[in-house]
Amino acid sequence: MQLVFPVAIGLVLYFFMIRPQQRKTTEAKAFRESLVKGTRVVTIGGLHGLLVEVGPETVLLEVERGQRLRFDRSAVARVAGGTTTTTDSSVTPAS
């Protein structure tokens, strides 16, 4: 009877804290592996850009016309808006 309470606490911790974190980590890894050229993304630092090159460990982001920055894949936090297939330099961003 004395072991029931600690075992119950352990199960609650597992199902409410450990398991959701494992799922979140798995989803983040799958997202980073699915990155493709032409996707608009936001980095963990809040930088918005267009993926112009996707390597095994790094990505190249175009943040402004001609301004390209290289980041680790792990620095990409989320997709910003939709996916574009081409970069149209005649379109200016809204202020």
Encode pLDDT of 23-43 as tens digits: 999 998 999 889 999 999 999
**Where are the domains positioned within the chain?**
1-34, 35-85
Q: What is the pLDDT of residue 38?
A: 92
What's the topology of domain 35-85? SH3 type barrels. (2.30.30)
- The pair phi, psi for residue 6, each rounded to 5°, is -65, -35
Cβ-Cβ contacts under 8 Å for 61 (sequence gap 6 or more): 41, 43, 47, 49, 50, 51, 52, 68, 69, 70, 71
**Average pLDDT value for residue range 43-70:** 93
